[in-house]
Structure 1
Amino acid sequence: MTISIKARIAVTTALVGSVAAGAAAADTMKIGITQNNVGVDSYQTTYEKAFIAAAQANPDIEAVVLDAGGDVARQIAQVEDLIQQQVDAIIIWPTNGEAVVPAVRKAHSAGIPVIVTNSNIAEQGFEFAASFSGPDNITQGARAAEIMCEKFTEMGIETEAQIVQISGQPGYTTAIERAKGFEDRLPEVCPDVTLVETQPGDWNREKSQKVMEAFLVKYDDIDGVYAGDDNMGVGALNAAKAAGRDGIIFVGATNFSVGYEAMERGEYWGSIYQSPVDDAEAALKTALDVLSGAEVPFLNYFDTPKITQENMDQFDKPVF
């Protein structure tokens, strides 16, 4: 839906307590976003750039762009700051799905619609949010389980394979949902495959490499690794390569460029294709739709298809 209001652009990257430079025209839609942790990986960095570009392209928007740096307390303070600025809508990429619920409730009480982006808040906060815009992370985990099972079946080891899982940041909704989707779906498609252990990699490649190094010492037989994103998956792959452990099937989620490149080399089997540009643009569009009074589903998912070595030629290399 096209918004008829016309006003100047004012996109501001700010810290808590800062105010957008210059007074916006009275009819400008002021939209604030507080992100999780822009510097932690290239997905979030690309998301921020895409969000700013989309806001700058719309003359109806003044955007206040904030980053919590992975700090829950800082994100809560940012939401409170946006409420004080009397923004028209708040987009939040939660640092922790449960801990931010009181802040979302406070914005709701102030009459400011909240759009949750990328990773949902805890269910008890759903009544205070206008919509969630992002990927269906449970489906991502389920599709990753299917990719792994299909490969094991092709290899003839579906009745005996053992796998390990490297999950994301503990307490983070995306990490919880991707693990749940995988763990629930795997026994449905490959009931005899054993998940021997799960450890968090915190979305960090170096930490995930160390987690995998420990797995390799502990387990003589590892047939597969499922990682909550390709950044962690490639960390695990690097550990296996350094240890000379060949033949392990690596499957991730959120296909990063490093994962795509590893797939091209034949070292990494599959992942789930997800665009941070689509993610950012969908969040902004959802906020605009809510402000225009359009009917918006609470769970506003965009599709994230399977990508493997067999079909990767159908997908562009990720830009992150």
Structure 2
Amino acid sequence: MARRRTLAAAAALLAATALAAGCGQAGESEAAGKKKDLTIGVSTLGQSFPFPAAITKGIKAEAARLGDKVIEVDAQGQAEKQSSDVQDLIGQQPDGVLLLPVDSGVATGMADDLKRANIPTVAVASQVGDPKTRKLTDVYPGLVALATQDEYAAGRKAGELAVQAAPKGGPIAVVEGTAGFAETQQRFRDFLAPAKEKGVELNVVARQPGDWLPEKAQSACQNMLAAHPDVKLFYAESDDMGVGCAKAVKAAGSKAAVIGVGGSKLGIDGVKSGELYGTVCYKPEDLGKRAVQVLHEQLTGAKKHDAEFVTYDTPSITKANVGDCLPQW
């Protein structure tokens, strides 16, 4: 009888232990399955500029889809303000940061500060580091990734368009972006390569900044045409500048072709109307979404990235295939 009571007690204890263990496992499984709410800081170079504004639109859309919260600060095109903005973000301790640099060189200090604060960071749309000494694909150490266009490839595709527009070569002029922007150098680096490979001599006789703005580009092209009325082609490093330059070309009665970069609505409309010979199609909203995906993967452990170069295809566009580029900005 005593033996039966002992066995019954042991069985009851075993069942209770198993039940407790089972409850514990269910609780742990439930906790493990619960998704942590993530906060992403976004330091944009300037929402008044159409391209970064479109990137931010893509960022917010993808963050909302993933359930991530976004804290946004706007540098308004000023590198000094962006440095201050990044310090503010560090103080708020977001889980990660997306950095759209105003000045690639100045951005190295911001990236270093974020790394010291143990905040994973993805640079977006522009390189961190001096473009004169660091290749675009050589991502700055400590960054999770650089998500951007392949500016070298885009410049080469613009150069291919230039050979099509001026197959016999001749004098050309370049409307540059703002000094300090990595893209100003990167979009020109391989621009002349297609012409050299085909034995076409494109002689750059003038270069002036248009600061990414149509009005300034129009003025720059007026000045360059006054000094070099025989220019056969203008290479504008953005569509906005290309459209401004096209106005100067038309006003001067010049037959010079104009090539842009970006695939903006303004640029695509210019290609359709014939103001621009062609452009290179960028997709800023898609880029913003991809940048969020990369950072989200890093933060959740779904996929690890370490100074990774993340890009997408940027096709060249003329009137013949203009329907292939649906403007996102």
TM over 0.5: yes
Unaligned runs of 5+ in 1: 7-26
Q: Of 54, 61, 72, which residue of structure 2 is paired with 1:46?
A: 54
2:22 matched to which residue of 1? none
Report the 3-state secondary structure (helix = DSSP H, G, I; strand = E; otherwise coil) of the residue aligned with 2:224. helix
The CA RMSD measured in Å over matched residues stands at 1.9
1:314 matched to which residue of 2? 324
Q: Is the 8 A contact 2:234 2:257 kept in 1?
A: yes
Q: Of 118, 125, 133, which residue of structure 2 is paired with 1:118?
A: 125
Q: Is the 8 A contact 2:120 2:143 kept in 1?
A: yes
1:152 aligns with 2:162: no
TM-score (norm 2): 0.83
2:219 matched to which residue of 1? 210
The CA distance in 1 between the partners of 2:92 and 2:239, in whole Å, is 38
Shift of 1:29: 1.0
Instruction: For 1:1-320, list aligned pairs within 5 A.
Output: 6=35, 27-40=36-49, 42-59=50-67, 61-122=68-129, 123=134, 126-153=140-167, 157-158=168-169, 161-245=170-254, 247-293=255-301, 294-296=303-305, 298-316=308-326, 318-320=327-329
Q: Residues 259-279 of structure 1, C-alpha deviation per residue, up to 9 Å, x if partnerless?
A: 111211122111100111111
How has the CA–CA distance of structure 1 residues 105 and 305 changed in structure 2, closer, same or farther, with 3 Å as cutoff? same
Amino acid in structure 1 at the alignment position of 2:258: F
The CA distance in 2 between the partners of 1:39 and 1:288, in whole Å, is 26
Q: Is the 8 A contact 1:104 1:125 kept in 2?
A: no
How has the CA–CA distance of structure 1 residues 70 and 57 changed in structure 2, closer, same or farther, with 3 Å as cutoff? same
1:10 matched to which residue of 2? none
Shift of 1:49: 2.3
The CA distance in 1 between the partners of 2:33 and 2:82, in whole Å, is 32
The CA distance in 2 between the partners of 1:152 and 1:244, in whole Å, is 18
Q: Is the 8 A contact 2:271 2:279 kept in 1?
A: no
Amino acid in structure 2 at the alignment position of 1:34: S
Shift of 1:58: 2.3
Amino acid in structure 1 at the alignment position of 2:260: G
Q: Residues 207-242 of structure 1, C-alpha deviation per residue, up to 9 Å, x if partnerless?
A: 000000101110120110111110000010011112
The CA distance in 1 between the partners of 2:198 and 2:142, in whole Å, is 37
The CA distance in 2 between the partners of 1:291 and 1:189, in whole Å, is 47
The CA distance in 2 between the partners of 1:304 and 1:125, in whole Å, is 20
1:9 matched to which residue of 2? none
The CA distance in 2 between the partners of 1:97 and 1:151, in whole Å, is 32
TM-score (norm 1): 0.85
Shift of 1:188: 3.3
Aligned residues: 289
2:26 matched to which residue of 1? none
Q: Is the 8 A contact 2:105 2:128 kept in 1?
A: yes
Q: Is the 8 A contact 2:243 2:275 kept in 1?
A: no
Identity, % of aligned positions: 25
Structure richer in helix, relative to its length: 2
Q: Residues 34-85 of structure 1, C-alpha deviation per residue, up to 9 Å, x if partnerless?
A: 0112203x222222223222222222x1110111011111111111111111
Report the 3-state secondary structure (helix = DSSP H, G, I; strand = E; otherwise coil) of the residue aligned with 1:65. strand
Q: Residues 264-311 of structure 1, C-alpha deviation per residue, up to 9 Å, x if partnerless?
A: 112211110011111111111111122233133611111111111121
Q: Which has the larger radius of gyration?
A: 2
Amino acid in structure 1 at the alignment position of 2:263: N
